[in-house]
Structure 1
Amino acid sequence: MSTPRFSSSTTAEEVGTAFAEEVKGKNVLITGTSVGGIGFEAARVMALKGANLVIIVGQNPEKLKIAEETIKKEIPTANIRPLILDLSSLASVRKAAAEVNAMPEALHVVIHNAAAPAGPFKLTSDNLEVQDVTNHIAPFLFTKLIAAKILAARTVTHVQYTPRVVFVSGSGQEHSPGVDFGQLERPDPAKHGRGIDALFRTKCMNILFAIELCRRSKGQINAYSLHPGVIYTNFMQKEDMAVALKEWGLVDEGGRVIEKADVWKTIPQGAATTVAAAFDPSLNDKPGTYLMDCIAANEKLVPHTSDPAIAEQLWVVTERIIGESFTF
């Protein structure tokens, strides 16, 4: 079987078709699945290509219902299960994890797609900065709490299978000085900086978490991170994101996309790398890989997002923040 040839214009459905045998029969959980986003498109494609179960996760029940109904209208046989989870609340993370653990199915793939957009400094009820907790601390805790469900996927089939955890990161890691551990543990509004800078710091954490998850699980879980591309979703229309897009010359003063900017992807194109990270069998022996345009792109990682020592430090600090050890 030849390796599929992908590019920046490849769509999620094209990737799903290429790896349909890998998608078929899998149980997948994906966060951030509102209609009009890349998480929804990835969920739709996985259902279309024969996933056994797709758990769509979000904090808004109405948006989850719309997402479920939209997929089922196209694919009546799809097994879609909504799950309420507010990633800005660790109590909500624990509640959602308990619901997942009560389900009978193992989880072959978990995709951390949801994220808090760039914004001003804001503390959550857990006294954590909202972007840090939504984009890293909550996914860390959630993964820890449902780890047994993920590991169970190794033993439910007669064929040896290594479950996957996928993190939708971004090229913002290239524009960030890296993790500020003091700020992560003791949030200070004076050190927050621009909202876009805080967002980029969390994108570094996504990549580092993937690297360390592979190391600590000792081959039991394969984790990957990725840059989906620049896609004009609702996420990109938030105030701080809009300001950044203007600075980069990607939208005009009215917030309209500048069509000549050749970096833009459509939503189907933006979801493609997520599907590749979740199912491309050529990644089986490449744990911790960072992907762009559906292929490995570790050369794009800057030193502070590929340093194993920093990845280990982030794990230890995050354990301290949640007050629990994450061991295998």
Structure 2
Amino acid sequence: MSLPTFTAKSTAEDVAATFGEQIRGKTVLVTGTSINGIGFETARVLAKYAGLVIITGYNTDRLNLSAEAIKKETPSANIRQLVLDLSSLTAVRKAAAEVNAYPEPLHVIIHNAAASGSATLNPTVDGLEPRMATALTGPFLLTKLLAPKLLASSLSSSSKSDEFTPRVVVVSSAAHAFGPHGVDLGNIAHPDAAKYHNGDAYFQAKAAGILFASELARRAKGRIHAYSLHPGGILTNINQKGQDKLDLISMGLLTPEGLPDESKGAWKTMGEGAATTIVAAFDSRLDDESGAYLDDCVVANEKVAPHSSNAETASKLWEITEEIVGEKFTF
């Protein structure tokens, strides 16, 4: 089958329609699925094809709204809600135990969730910086605890044509490159309030996501495929409020009214923003590209900043995260 070339203007609907047969019957877990976010759009579109879409969030009311919206559009969608607070290691373990008890296999994890910013450091219950906890330590532990279920799904195919190597997708950002030094490895376990800056915390969290995906791909040795990506500039629920909105206005990316400033670069629709996520989750052309970084629906490793493509840094970050969560993540 000849596959289309996707572009910055491709939508999640376009990509999902192309890979409908690959998506059909699969179980996909998507974190951060509040309405008016990329994760919701990802889940909404995948629900038209997938066997089961697990939507997650720490707020039950928001989860209910998301589930209702998806079911209203696609009554046949199989949606399951999972309460998951990625900023709490205890909460991650509880949610992972729930998923491991599901009778269905698990084929894809999409780490889409992100924490809102703040003017000052507000440590999590585990004493971590919230953005890093939501982008790295929480996803790391969740993936570690669900890895056996992911691996088992690749062994449960009834025929050669049904075989699918499980995938882990990390939604990062081109903004990872804005932080000149990448992840401050010495500040992760015990963040220093004096060093805290909202923008830098965001840049570091996104850099950490890329390093996590690349190291997961290396250590999994083909048993799990992992990818990171830049979804594009999208006006989502997280950048329309609080410190994040103020920072984007100060950077000139949003107008004083909080609207996208098109003169500073093209902004994407929600559908265009979720397209690269679905490519990373299901495009068969990526089977030999595990560890890759995607932008505008294609592999764009050349766009990764040197500090986020350093193999030694990725390995050190993995080991530091193991120490924080108190568990070794091995295959």
Same fold (TM over 0.5): yes
Shift of 1:152: 1.0
Q: CA deviation at 1:259?
A: 4.4
Q: Which runs of 5+ in 1 are unaligned?
A: none
Alignment partners' CA distance in 1, 2:327 and 2:195:
26
- Bigger CA drift: 230-239 or 282-291? 230-239
Once the two structures are superposed, residues 94-139 of structure 1 have per-residue CA deviations (whole angstroms, 9 ceiling, x without a partner) of 1000100111111110000001123231111111111111111011
Distance 1:73 1:298, change over 3 A: same
Name the structure 1 match of 2:98: 99
Q: In structure 1, how many angstroms separate the alpha carbons of the residues matched to 2:264 and 2:78? A: 38
Aligned to 1:274: 277
Q: Deviations over 1:6-56 (max 9, x none)?
A: 2111110011111112111111000011111110111111111x1000000
Q: Look up the equivalent residue of 1:37 and give its one-letter code.
A: G
Letter aligned with residue 256 of structure 2 = E
Distance 2:249 2:202 in 1: 17
**In structure 1, which of residues 207, 231, 235 is the aligned counterpart of residue 234 of structure 2?**
231
Tell me how far apart the structure 2 counterparts of residues 170 and 185 of structure 1 sit (CA, whole Å).
23
In the TM superposition, what is the alpha-carbon distance from 1:211 to its structure 2 partner?
A: 0.7
Number of residue-to-residue matches in the alignment: 326
- Residue 189 of structure 1 aligns with which residue? 193
Q: Which amino acid aligns with 2:51?
A: N
* Residue type at the aligned position of 2:183: V
Alignment of structure 1 residues 1-328 onto 2, 5 Å? 1-48=1-48, 50-119=49-118, 120-157=120-157, 158-159=159-160, 160-176=163-179, 177-192=181-196, 194-328=197-331
SS of alignment partner, residue 35 of structure 1: coil
Distance 2:41 2:204 in 1: 26
Q: Give, in angstroms, the shift of residue 258 of structure 1.
A: 2.9
- The offset of 1:186, in angstroms, is 1.5
Gaps of 5+ in 2: none
What TM-score do the two structures reach when normalised by structure 1? Answer: 0.97
1:75 Cα deviation from its structure 2 partner? 0.9
Q: Distance in 1 between matches of 2:203 and 2:15?
A: 27
Give SS of 1:145's match: helix
Give TM-score scaled by structure 2 length: 0.96
SS class of match (2:47): helix
Could you tell me which amino acid in structure 1 is paired with residue 41 of structure 2? E
Cα offset, 1:260, TM superposition: 4.4
Tell me by how many angstroms 1:156 deviates. 1.2
Could you tell me which amino acid in structure 2 is paired with residue 304 of structure 1?
Answer: H
Indicate the percent of aligned positions where both proteins have the same amino acid: 53
Residues of 2 paired with 1:237 and 1:51: CA distance?
30
Pairwise CA RMSD:
1.2
CA distance in structure 2 between the partners assigned to 1:323 and 1:135 by the alignment: 17
